Amino acid sequence: MQKNIVSLKIEEIKGDSMDIIEKDGHMTLRMKSGFDAHAHFRELDQLFFTVPYSARQFACAVAMPNTFEPLTCVRVVILYQRSAEKYGQENDQSFRVIVPIYLTDEITPMIMRTAHAAGICVAKLYPMGATTQSHKGVTAIEKLFPVLSVMQDLDMILSVHCEVTDANVDFFDRERVFIHRHLSVIAQKFPSLRIIIEHVSTKDAVQFVMDASDRIAATITPQHIMLNRNHLFMGGLQPHNFCFPIINSAEDQMMVSRAIFHRRFFLGTDSAPHGKYQKYYDGKGGCFTSPYALELYAHAFEKLGALEILEDFSAIRGPDFYGFAPSENMVQLTRAEGIIAQERAIGAHTMAVPFLSGHMLNWRYDAAS
């Protein structure tokens, strides 16, 4: 029988180091430095600009491998990981980057064993054509079964972009159909495989995770709890709210918002910067959330009455699922209004528009210590 998520009890492991301090009318929030389980840093000179946005706010980030030439080979994954980490460490010496290997139709069990031996603990599944730089993605999930079997044996993590690309499927149903058509099959065939459903956007995906075993978790972006599909069109077409999976109905938004209380859902910004002209002319999907990531989550969590689980969501559950210790570093936010900038640089000659630019947020990120 299906559990009704509305009646689910709050299942939480509260971070024990978090403090919400009110003094002389000022409110501050001190908590462990977080883990961004899903970010896009892009490549080459862009790393110099994009990685520090994350390194300033987080102790660790999982940098997705959908670069211009996707990171499908072990050596390239390692080089990219070192390079991204170096740019972050100019900001904070302890900053860590994890890079998944990009799954293609050509990947073999032997390559996966080599990846594991080289320290790669996660692989990313993009269905071909689902999103930015997914042209090398997987065409038929069944082709991956021998590789998934090895990943299960090695206790690696499968990180999944859950959307079908079938032109006959309604755009707003892409995630639901993927969950029912493909993910349920993978989960049944590989019951011990650790799986992360990236950027959950529908009640079906939330329900699937809640009904699943502890081996299955999901990441949540700020945009999927702050917006619903009306925000794609209100006041004219809103390109900076367009991302994959698309922001869905108000009911889906409500279910994703409730999921923040459940211990198998954790922070993954899916910060996906595109130059502003690429957004306008090529219609690229992706919300650029990294410069204001913690402020966005704090703002949204406060509205949901969930401020006191922010540390758990951002710094404990993600590392726990990956099998890492949480960071020892602390970050601080102050309750103070601030306006999101119109543009931030993501390259020497490329500006991108941050998610919710021009809007007011109730929290300001102060510092790490």
Catalytic annotation, pick one of 204, 252, 270, 320: 270
- The reply on whether position 243 binds ligand NCD by CB under 6 A is yes
The helix (run of H) or strand (run of E) holding residue 34 is strand 34-39
Size of the site for Zn ion (CB under 5 A): 1
Across the beta sheet with 265-267, what order do the strands follow? 101-102, 122-125, 157-160, 194-197, 216-220, 265-267
Q: Annotated catalytic, 153?
A: no
Least CB distance to ligand NCD at residue 232 (A): 13
Residue 186 vs residues 54, 129, 141: alpha-carbon distances, Å: 32, 20, 9
- For residue 197, give the 3-state DSSP assignment: strand
Interface with ligand NCD includes 132 (CB under 6 A)? yes
Indicate the burial class of 153 (C-beta count within 10 angstroms; 0-12, 13-18, 19 or more).
middle
Residue with Cβ nearer Zn ion (36 or 270): 270
Site pattern 260..279 for Zn ion (x: CB under 5 A) = ----------x---------
The nearer residue to ligand NCD, 210 or 272, going by C-beta atoms, is 272
| Rg value, the chain, Cα | 19
Q: To 10 degrees, what angle do helices 203-211 and 250-259 make? A: 30
Nearest approach in angstroms of CB 218 to ligand NCD is 14
CB of 38 to Zn ion, least distance (A): 5
Contact 228, 210 (CB under 8 A): no
Nearest CB to ligand NCD, comparing residues 160 and 300: 160
Neighbours of 177 (CB within 10 A): 17
The answer to whether the beta carbons of residues 196 and 218 sit under 8 Å apart is yes
Query: What's the one-letter identity of residue 69?
Result: E
* # residues contacting ligand NCD (CB under 6 A): 11
Per-residue x/- marks for ligand NCD, 63-82, CB under 6 A? ---x----------------
Minimum Å gap between C-beta 50 and Zn ion is: 13
* Per-position x/- string for 152-191, each x denoting binding to ligand NCD as judged by CB under 6 A, each - no binding: ---------x------------------------------
Among 99, 179, 187, 272, binds ligand NCD (CB under 6 A): 272
CA gap 24, 306 in Å, rounded: 23
Active site (catalytic) residues: 270
Positions in the binding site for Zn ion (CB under 5 A): 270
Positions in the binding site for ligand NCD (CB under 6 A): 40, 66, 131-132, 161, 243-244, 270, 272, 285-286
